[in-house]
Structure 1
Amino acid sequence: MSDLLIELFSEEIPARMQAAARESLKKLVTDGLVEAGLTYEGAGAFSTPRRLVLTVQGLTPESRPVREERKGPRTDAPQAALEGFLRSTGLTLDQLEKRADKKAEVFFAVIEKPGRKAAEIVAEVLERSIRNFPWAKSMRWGSGNLRWVRPLHSILCLLGDEGGAEVVPMSIDGIEAGNTTAGHRFMAPARFAVTSFDDYAAKLRRAFVMLDSAEREAHIWNDAQNQAFARGLEVVPDAGLLAEVAGLVEWPVVLMGAIGAEFLHLPPEVLQTSMREHQKFFSVRNPKSGRIEGFVTVANRETADQGATILKGNLKVLSARLSDARFFWENDLRVAKAGMTDWAEGLKAVTFHNKLGSQADRIARIAALAREIAPLVGADPDQAERAAKLAKLDLRSAMVGEFPELQGTMGRYYALEAGETDAIANAARDHYSPLGPSDAVPTEPVSVAVALADKIDTLTGFWAIEEKPTGSKDPFALRRAALGVIRLVLGNGVRCNIGQIIQSGLVSNEIARRFVEALERPNVLARPVSVEAFGAELQLDLTALGEKRQDLLAFFHDRLKVFLRDQGIRHDVIDACLAMPGNDDLTLLVKRAEALQAFLGSDDGTNLLQGFKRANNILTQAEQKDGVEYSFGADPKFAETDEERALFAALDAGDAAIKPAMAREDFAAAMAAMAQLRAPIDAFFTAVQINTDNAIVRRNRLNLLHRIRALVAQVADLTRVEG
C-alpha cells in the first residue's frame, strides 16, 4: 500500500473559498482514483491561504485488470451496425468472437485492460482535477492557458511506501511536480524537501505554518479568550469571522487593543459591525456594562516588539473608521430627535418596486395591515400602526447607508431617541425577524404584528404582480418570508384566518399596482390624487383576487408541509389535516396534525386506520357500482348480529364524544374517542358480510359504513393517510 501527498501552492486563496476548495480537491482526486480502479483506506484535505493539500492513505499500488464482455450485433447484421460496434469497443473484426445466442449467431467483444501503476493514474487524475477545478472565480496569468483562483506556483506530488517516496511525474502549463514546498511567506520563505505527510506537516510547523484550519481557529479563539480574561473582559463570539480570519493567516498571532474613549459611547452593534466589516477585528466586551471596550486582531507573523507596531497601525486605521461611524451616529441622532420626519419624506423618493410604488407607499400598506393584525396577536392597534410607520425610517439614516446589516437595529435606537415607547422601538428592531431557521422569533405583541404585516405585504405584493417563485429561483426571498409568517404564527400561538389577512394584503397591493400603472399612462388621472382616494374609486376584480388568494394560501401550505416535515410530522398526516375545514388557521392545523400523528403511531390508531380504509373501500366500490350514495338511513332494527348492534352503539357513543371535543378543539379527546371504535369495527368486519343477498340488510350495512366514514371525517381525512 502507498500513501499519496499532494500540495497545490499558490498566491493567497480568498478565505471564503478555502473550505469548499479543499473538499473539492478531495472529491475530484479520490473519485478519479476509484474510477480508474484504485482503492484507498482514508483521505484528508487541508488548506491555508497559500496551499491546498490532500493526503490519501492506503492507496493500492496498481489498478485491477479488467475483463469486459460486450454483446454485439448478429453476424448477419448490416455493415453499419457492425462498424458502430467496432468503433465503440476499439477492436477489429478479427478480434471479435462469434457465439450462438438463442436462434442466431452474434458477435461478442472481449475487452481486457491490464492493471496500471498508481503513479500513472495519479498524474492523469491530478492534471484533470486541476484543469477542471470548480472555482467560483479563477484567473489566467502569464502566457499559459491554466486557470486557477490565483497564480499557481508549484505542485508537490509524492507517492510513497515503507521503501521511500517518489515524485509522481507530471507537468501542467510548465509547472513540474516535485517534492518541495515553502514555509511562511515572511518568517520562513525558503523551499525545503519532504518525504511523507508526517514529514511535511512537521517541517511546515517548523516553518511557521499551521496546516489544519481547525487548529488555527482553536488557537485564535483560545488565545483571544485568555487575553481578554486577563483584563476582566470577554470576546464576543463570531463563528463566521473566526473561520474567515483563520483563512487569512498561516501562523496566527493574536493581539489585543483598546478602543479610544471618544468612541465608547457608540452603540455596541455599531462598533462590532465597523470592526468586523472593515478590519476583521473581534469585539471585546466588558461583561459588567455590556459595552464594547476593546478589539482583537490576528497578525500573520511574530515580530520583535511583540506586535506593538502592528497594533499601533491597526488602531490608527480603526480610529479613522470609528470617527466616520461617530459622525454618522451624531448626525442621525439630530434627525431622530426631530421626529425622523426628514427620513419619512425621503422614503417617498425611494422605489420599493417599479410596479408597487415607493417605500413610503409600502410603509402605509404595512401600517394598515399591522393595525388589522394587532387584535389577533394581543397588540394595541394604535401602537402597531405607529410602529409600522417608524420601523423602516432608519433606511434613510447615514449609519444604515454605510452598514445595511444594521437596519432595524439602528431603528430601535433612533425610535427611543425620538421618544417612542419600548414596544414601538423594539418593533423597529424585530420586525425583520425571523430571517432564517436559526433566527429567534419575536414575541412582543407589537413586534409580532408589524413582523407579520411586513412579510405578508411582501408576499401579497409580489403575488399581485405575478412575481412568484419558480423552481429554484426565488429572487425576492418569498419562501423565506412565508416561513417567517409560519414561525411567527406558530411560535406565538396566533389564532387567525390567514386567508383573510392575505385578502387584505392583496387588495392594498392590487390598488398600488393599478395606481402605478395609472401614473405611467398620460391623462388617465385627470387630477392629482392619493393612493387612498384612487383605491376608493377603483372597481377590483374580486374573482381574480380570490384566485390569487387561494394560490398564495396553497404556497403557505406547501411551506408549512416542509416546516412540519422537519419537525418529524409525516407528509400524509399533514395532507389529511389540510383537507379539513379551518386550514386557514395554521395554529389549529398544526395542533390537529400533531394529535393525529400521535394517534396513528399507537396500535389503536394503526388498526382503526385499516378498519376505516376497509370500510371506505367497500362503500366507495358499492356507490360506484350502484350509482347511488349510501349516506342516510342506517337503522339498528335491521341489524342481524350482536357485533352489528355493538357497532351502532359504539358509533352513537363516538358521535356524542367527538362532536363536543372537536367544538372545543380538544383533538386528543377526539382521537381517544375514535380509538374506542377500533374493537367494534374489527368485530363487525369479522362477523358480518356486507354484500349479503338481502338487499335491505345490504343497504343498511352500507349506510352503517357511511356512518364510520362520516364520524372519522370530523377529525381528519384519513383517505389521504398512507398504509
Structure 2
Amino acid sequence: MPDLLIELLSEEIPARMQRRASLDFEKLLTDGISELGLSYESSAAFTTPRRLVLVLENVSSKSLSRSEEKRGPRTDAPEKAIQGFLKSTGFDLSQLEIRQEKKGEFYYATFQTKGREAAEVISVVLEKIIRNFPWPKSMRWGKTSLKWVRPLHSIVCILYDDDGSKIVDINIEGISSGDKTYGHRFMGSGEFSVTSFEDYAAKLKKNYVVLDPSERAEIILQEMKNQAFAQGLELINDLSLLNEVVGLIEWPVVLLGKLEDEFLALPAEVLQTSMREHQKFFSIRNPKDNKVVQFATVANRETADGGSTILTGNQKVLSARLSDAKFFWDNDLRTIKTDGLDIWLEKLKKVTFHNKLGSQFERVERIINLSEIIAKKIGCDPKLAKDAAYISKADLSSEMVYEFPELQGIMGTYYAKKAGYAASVSETCKDHYAPLGPSDEVPGSPISTVVALADKIDTLTNFWAIEEKPTGSKDPFALRRSALGMIRIIIENDIRISLSEILALGNKKADIEDLKEFIYQRMKVFLREKELRHDIIDACLSIDKEDDLALSVKKSFALMEFIKTSDGSNLIQGFKRANNILLQAEKNDGVEYSFGADLKYAKEDAELNLFSVLDSEEVKIKASLEREDFVEAMNSMANLRAPIDSFFETVQINSDVDHIRRNRLNLLSRICKLCLSVADLTKVEG
C-alpha cells in the first residue's frame, strides 16, 4: 500500500499558531479520508515557519464500497411527503424498498457508493481542508477567494511506494499540486523534486531546513548549553521561549553575545524578562554568583562572518532595551531611598482592584488583618506577618512592574530589601503569590505561608460575595488557581486549621458552604492526580467535622493503602453487610439499635470472640486516632476482619429469641460505629 506526503508551503506562519495548525491538519485529513472509507496505518505531522507537512503510511489504494440507508415516510403518507422524499434522494418510486415496522410500512432508499481511488478521495478531502482551514486569523491574499494565514505558494501531494510516486491532482485558485518544493528562503538551492517522505526530509536538510520541530529544539538547546559550558557558564532554561523560537527558524544557528558592563548590576530576572519579551533571547548566567552575563540568540541562517554582523546588530538593539530597564530600576531605587515603600502604598489607593471590591490599597488592608489573625492561629509572629502583608503589593506601583507585570512580587522582594526590611519579610513579596501552577513549590517560611493564605482567602471570599464565580471553562479571576494554591499550602505545610474557620475570616457576605464545596472539588481533582480515589476522600472528609484538610488527606492515604489489602477490602464488605442489616432492621422495627450489646446474651463462640476482639481493638483504634496514627488505626481495624467474617458465617442475626436478636443488632451497631469513627466507609466504593 502506498504512503502519502503533503506539504503546504506559504509565507511565515506565526509561531503561536503552528502547533495547533499541525494538529488540526492531521486530524482533519485523517478523519476526512476515514469517513470516505480510506484507511491508513499511521500518521505524523511536522511544521516549520513556512510549511505544514503531513505523512501517512500504508494508505489503502482504494476506498471501501459503502451502503447507506435513508428511511422515508409511511407508504400511506400524503403524496406530497412521498414526492419530497423522492426528490431529496433522487430516486423514483420503483427504486424504493418497503419495510414493515411496528408503526406501519415505510419507504427506504438504499444508496450504494462504489469505492474510489485513493488519489480521488485525498484530492476531495484536501481541497475542502485548505478552503476551510480553522486558522485563528486568516485573510484573502491577492484577488483570489482563498483565505490563508499567510500567502500560500505551493502544494506537494504525492502517493508513493516501491514502484515510484504519483502526484495527487488538486488545483486551488491557480495553485496546482505537484512534487516540487523549495528549501531555505536564503540558503536553499532552489526548486527540487521529491519522491517520498524520506527523500523529502533528506533534501530539505541539504537545503538547510530541519523539518521536525523537536529536532530543531534539541539542536538549539544542546548548542546553547555547549557554547555556555565552554565559557564556564550555564543556560537558564526557558521552555516556553524555546518552543516559540523553534517556530521562528528553519535552520537554527546559535550565537552567544555579551552584556555590557553597565547592565550587569540589574537583577537577573529583569535581564531575563527584558531579553525574552523584547528580543526572544535566552539568558546565560555565571553559576558562581547566578548573575546573567551573556545572552544567546538563534539566527535562521549561516553567514560568512560567523554571525558577527547579526550579533552586533542584536547587541545594539538589546542595549537600547536594557537601557530602558535600567532607567526603571534606577528610578525605583531613588523613590525607595527618598520615600520608602509608603509612597507606593499611597498610590495603590488610586488603583482599582475590582469595581465592587475597592482599591488595591483596600485589598492590602484586608490582607493585613487576615494575616495577623492567621499568624496567631498557626504560631507565626503576628507583627512580622502584618509587616510582610503591608508591603506585599507595594511593587505594583513601581515603574519596573508597570513595564513588566510578570515581575510583580519578584521586584517587590528586591525593593523591600533595599528599603531595609528583613529577608524573611522581603521574600514574602515574591512567595505569597505561590503556587502559580500545579508544579510550583508552595511557600515554605511561616511568614510567607501566612500572607499567601490571607491573599487567597481574601480573593476567594470576596469574589464569592459578589457572585463572581468560575463557570464552565471561564475563570477570569483565576479562582480555581487560588483555591488549589490554598489547598496545597495547607496540605504540604501540614497546617492544622479548620477550613470553615479561616474562610469565615474573609468577606462575611460570602456563601461559605458553597465556597467550601468548590474547594473540596478542587482538592479532589488535585488528589486524584496523586492517585487518591475520590470516594476515599469523601469518606474521610465526611467525618472531619472541623474540616481539617491536612488531617483528612493523611487519613485518606492511610485508608487507600488499607483497602488495597485483602483484610481491608474484606473488612469494608463486612462493614457494609453489617450496616445494611442494621439499617433494614431499624427501618422495620422502628427503633434505633444503639444501646450497646451485652456480653451476657452472647451464646455462640464466634459471637463471644467478636466481643473480645472489639474490646481490645476499640481501645487501640481510639488511641491511634487521638495520636493521628492512622496507619496503626487501620492495622487495628484489620484485626476485626476475621472475627466479623466468622460472626456472619456461623451466627444467625435474626434469632427467634427476641432479646438475643436485639443484642446481636446492637453488636452490629457497635461494629459500624467503630468503623465510622475512622471514616465514613459507606462512601467507599466496591
CA–CA distance in structure 2, aligned partners of residues 97 and 135 of structure 1: 45
CA–CA distance in structure 1, aligned partners of residues 280 and 100 of structure 2: 74
CA–CA distance in structure 2, aligned partners of residues 562 and 66 of structure 1: 44
Shift of 1:402: 0.7
> Does residue 205 of structure 2 align to residue 205 of structure 1?
yes
Tell me the equivalent position of 2:156: 156
CA–CA distance in structure 2, aligned partners of residues 90 and 371 of structure 1: 80
Shift of 1:312: 0.8
After superposition, the Cα gap between the structure-2 partners of 1:86 and 1:654, relative to the gap in structure 1 and judged at 3 Å, is farther
Q: Deviations over 1:178-211 (max 9, x none)?
A: 2222222222373333222222222222222111
> Does residue 616 of structure 2 align to residue 653 of structure 1?
yes
Shift of 1:653: 2.1
Tell me the equivalent position of 1:518: none
Shift of 1:13: 0.6
CA–CA distance in structure 2, aligned partners of residues 246 and 24 of structure 1: 19
> Does residue 434 of structure 2 align to residue 471 of structure 1?
no
Alignment partner for residue 672 of structure 1, among 624, 632, 635?
635
Q: Which blocks of at least 5 consecutive residues in structure 2 are unaligned?
A: none
Tell me the equivalent position of 1:168: 168
Shift of 1:624: 1.3
What is the TM-score when the length of structure 1 is the normalising length?
Answer: 0.91
CA–CA distance in structure 1, aligned partners of residues 100 and 540 of structure 2: 62
Shift of 1:125: 0.8
What is the TM-score when the length of structure 2 is the normalising length?
Answer: 0.96
Tell me the equivalent position of 1:51: 51
Shift of 1:504: 0.8
Tell me the equivalent position of 1:534: none
CA–CA distance in structure 1, aligned partners of residues 95 and 638 of structure 2: 73
Q: Deviations over 1:63-82 (max 9, x none)?
A: 12224566766655665665
Q: Deviations over 1:38-91 (max 9, x none)?
A: 111222111111111111121111112224566766655665665566567553
CA–CA distance in structure 1, aligned partners of residues 69 and 355 of structure 2: 64
Larger CA deviation: 163-172 vs 447-456: 163-172
Q: Please report the RMSD computed on the Cα atoms of aligned residues, expressed in angstroms.
A: 2.0
Q: Deviations over 1:451-497 (max 9, x none)?
A: 11111111011011111112222111101100000111111111111
Q: Is the Cα contact below 8 Å between 2:593 and 2:662 reproduced in 1? A: yes
Shift of 1:591: 0.9
Q: Which blocks of at least 5 consecutive residues in structure 1 are unaligned?
A: 511-544
Tell me the equivalent position of 1:285: 285
> Does residue 381 of structure 2 align to residue 380 of structure 1?
yes
CA–CA distance in structure 2, aligned partners of residues 314 and 619 of structure 1: 80
Larger CA deviation: 408-417 vs 703-712: 703-712
After superposition, the Cα gap between the structure-2 partners of 1:77 and 1:657, relative to the gap in structure 1 and judged at 3 Å, is same
Q: Matches of residues 191-340 of structure 1 in structure 2 within 5 Å? A: 191-337=191-337, 338-340=339-341
Tell me the equivalent position of 1:20: 20
CA–CA distance in structure 1, aligned partners of residues 587 and 148 of structure 2: 68
> Does residue 402 of structure 2 align to residue 401 of structure 1?
yes
Tell me the equivalent position of 1:497: 498
Larger CA deviation: 437-446 vs 197-206: 197-206
CA–CA distance in structure 2, aligned partners of residues 88 and 608 of structure 1: 65
CA–CA distance in structure 2, aligned partners of residues 597 and 160 of structure 1: 55
CA–CA distance in structure 1, aligned partners of residues 57 and 418 of structure 2: 63
Larger CA deviation: 39-48 vs 276-285: 39-48
> Does residue 597 of structure 2 align to residue 597 of structure 1?
no
Q: Is the Cα contact below 8 Å between 2:499 and 2:546 reproduced in 1? A: no
Q: Matches of residues 110-125 of structure 1 in structure 2 within 5 Å? A: 110-125=110-125
Q: Is the Cα contact below 8 Å between 1:506 and 1:549 reproduced in 2? A: no
Tell me the equivalent position of 2:187: 187
Q: Deviations over 1:229-288 (max 9, x none)?
A: 222222211111111111101111111111001111111111111111100011111122
Larger CA deviation: 27-36 vs 357-366: 27-36
Q: Is the Cα contact below 8 Å between 1:233 and 1:287 reproduced in 2? A: yes
Tell me the equivalent position of 2:484: 483
Shift of 1:297: 0.9
Q: Is the Cα contact below 8 Å between 1:583 and 1:589 reproduced in 2? A: no
Tell me the equivalent position of 2:542: 579
Shift of 1:613: 0.7
Q: Matches of residues 495-534 of structure 1 in structure 2 within 5 Å? A: 495-507=496-508, 510=509
CA–CA distance in structure 2, aligned partners of residues 648 and 310 of structure 1: 86
Letter in 2 for 1:600: I
Paired residue secondary structure (1:298): strand
Paired residue secondary structure (1:505): coil
After superposition, the Cα gap between the structure-2 partners of 1:558 and 1:101, relative to the gap in structure 1 and judged at 3 Å, is closer
CA–CA distance in structure 2, aligned partners of residues 484 and 308 of structure 1: 47
Paired residue secondary structure (2:443): coil
Shift of 1:664: 2.0
> Does residue 622 of structure 2 align to residue 621 of structure 1?
no
CA–CA distance in structure 1, aligned partners of residues 77 and 470 of structure 2: 53
Paired residue secondary structure (2:543): coil
Larger CA deviation: 123-132 vs 343-352: 123-132
Shift of 1:343: 0.5
CA–CA distance in structure 1, aligned partners of residues 520 and 101 of structure 2: 57
Paired residue secondary structure (1:722): coil
Shift of 1:99: 6.3
Letter in 2 for 1:15: A
Larger CA deviation: 68-77 vs 613-622: 68-77
Letter in 2 for 1:312: T
Paired residue secondary structure (1:257): strand
Alignment partner for residue 638 of structure 1, among 598, 601, 605?
601
Alignment partner for residue 648 of structure 2, among 685, 694, 699?
685
CA–CA distance in structure 1, aligned partners of residues 461 and 133 of structure 2: 42
Larger CA deviation: 664-673 vs 398-407: 664-673
Letter in 1 for 2:217: E
> Does residue 665 of structure 2 align to residue 702 of structure 1?
yes
Paired residue secondary structure (1:8): strand
Q: Deviations over 1:553-588 (max 9, x none)?
A: 111111111111111111111111111033521101
Shift of 1:332: 0.6
CA–CA distance in structure 2, aligned partners of residues 690 and 81 of structure 1: 69
After superposition, the Cα gap between the structure-2 partners of 1:640 and 1:317, relative to the gap in structure 1 and judged at 3 Å, is same
Letter in 2 for 1:296: A
CA–CA distance in structure 2, aligned partners of residues 590 and 84 of structure 1: 65
Percentage of pairs with the same residue: 59
Q: In the comparison of the two structures, how many residue pairs are matched? A: 685
CA–CA distance in structure 1, aligned partners of residues 597 and 539 of structure 2: 26
CA–CA distance in structure 1, aligned partners of residues 469 and 37 of structure 2: 48
Paired residue secondary structure (1:579): helix
CA–CA distance in structure 1, aligned partners of residues 84 and 575 of structure 2: 60
Shift of 1:665: 1.7
Tell me the equivalent position of 1:458: 459
CA–CA distance in structure 1, aligned partners of residues 551 and 83 of structure 2: 69
After superposition, the Cα gap between the structure-2 partners of 1:660 and 1:81, relative to the gap in structure 1 and judged at 3 Å, is farther
